[in-house]
Amino acid sequence: MLTQEQNERLTRVGPGTPMGDLLRRYWYPVATDQQLGENPVRSVRLLGENLTLFRDRQGQLGLVQQRCAHRSVDLKHGIPTEEGLRCPYHGWMYDANGQCLEQPAEDPAHNFAARVQIAAYDVQELGGLIWAYIGPQPAPLLPRWDIFVADNVFRQVGTTTVPCNWLQCQENSLDPVHTEWLHSYWTRYQQLAAGQTVNVRGESAPHERISFDLFEHGIIKRRILKGLDEDHDLWKVGHPILFPNILQVGSPQKLTMQFRVPVDDENTLHVSIYIFRAADGAVVPRQDPVPYYYNPLIGEDGRFITNVTFNQDYMAWVTQGRVARRELEKLGESDKGIIMFRKMLNEQMEIVQDGGDPMNVFRSDLDDALRLPVEPSRGFVNGAPTRYVPQEAGPSVAHADIERVLATYV
């Protein structure tokens, strides 16, 4: 059990807070390529700060403060130009560095524009996602996890806005036992109550043993399910929780990396990127852009959508409250992974406060992909691996295949 003060230290992410200082050392996915293609100017809220993301007409990305320096108009309504972003109110134009380039109603001889600059932040593109860094300079390197640079894969992005603190989302990854209850027994209960045929996909066998090991990028989670032993990949290999906000899960054939992006103290952007490796000899068509979908939390009946595995997790996170009251919880032996992760968070906050770089802040040696442990077999009830197999179609095959691929993914 934590005190209220300890809980605040772990959950408050705004500027000047210990956790906010730690989390500002990392890059975050804040949009997708496809979203910027649909609208080249987007409002972004990250770690309690409001920003404006844009792509100018030459294709260059920019991430600047929310408001124009002139009269504080929200730049999400701005107009992309060849050189930057123009405020819709009086036409002041800013480049990707936040430098004001033009002020149409001002006398150029006064050189006023040169003396106006708004805050600007680092932004990059990788793997179908737009990444932002709003921490102290110099910015670290954007990690090239293997899932973002793998060749000949079908790649897709799913996003969801979850109305709760990011830590509730991430702690779920340190809690393996919930899978047999939330994703199996509860799913079975719902199906029976609705008069449906029971069809539970996932890890339905009881957990007999769980373990958590520290490794260079975070924590490896291991489990033994009833009927399995230590020779099974679920225990022998395990899968990684990457510090501070990432889970990787899946098999070499179908792999997912989940990011729990802290929007502010009470909201999280959940971003999942999937890759499906091509079957032997198959060639995945070029994806430009990488397709994305938005996964809603609430159905037309006003209730949580829970017939999808991810959405069951979302329900569990959200119903803990906007910020879970950890001073009221009663942790048991099965919560040792959560306890380990909270200790790690506090240790890494201390490193930052002492002026050091925390775990997974990279300054060099990122020419090659960062490879992580992947369980060759996951031990699911329906455990046959799924690969991307192109249909006989034209260049749109990747998009036409989305629904089939998602339907087979657990």
72-107: per-residue pLDDT in tens?
Answer: 999 999 999 999 999 999 999 999 999 999 999 999
CB burial class (10 A; 0-12, 13-18, 19+) of residue 395?
A: exposed
- Measured CA distances, 56 to 61, 64, 65, 287 (Å): 7, 13, 16, 22
User: Confidence class of residue 399 from pLDDT cuts 50, 70 and 90?
Assistant: very low
Q: What pTM was computed for the model?
A: 0.90
User: Confidence class of residue 390 from pLDDT cuts 50, 70 and 90?
Assistant: very low
In sequence order, what are the residues at sequence separation of 6 or more whose Cβ sits closer than 8 angstroms to the Cβ of residue 405? 154, 156, 274, 276, 386, 388
User: Confidence class of residue 125 from pLDDT cuts 50, 70 and 90?
Assistant: very high
In sequence order, what are the residues at sequence separation of 6 or more whose Cβ sits closer than 8 angstroms to the Cβ of residue 82? 56, 57, 58
In sequence order, what are the residues at sequence separation of 6 or more whose Cβ sits closer than 8 angstroms to the Cβ of residue 13? 19, 20, 23, 47, 48, 166, 262, 264, 265
Rounded CA-CA distance 379/292 in Å is 28
| 402: DSSP letter | H
User: Confidence class of residue 193 from pLDDT cuts 50, 70 and 90?
Assistant: confident
pLDDT at 400 (0 to 100): 33
pLDDT at 393 (0 to 100): 30
Strand partners, 79: 86
Rounded CA-CA distance 28/325 in Å is 26
pLDDT at 318 (0 to 100): 96
Length of the chain: 410
Interaxial angle between packed helices 336-353 and 4-11, expressed in degrees from 0 to 180 and rounded to the nearest 10: 70
User: Confidence class of residue 403 from pLDDT cuts 50, 70 and 90?
Assistant: very low
Rounded CA-CA distance 101/303 in Å is 49
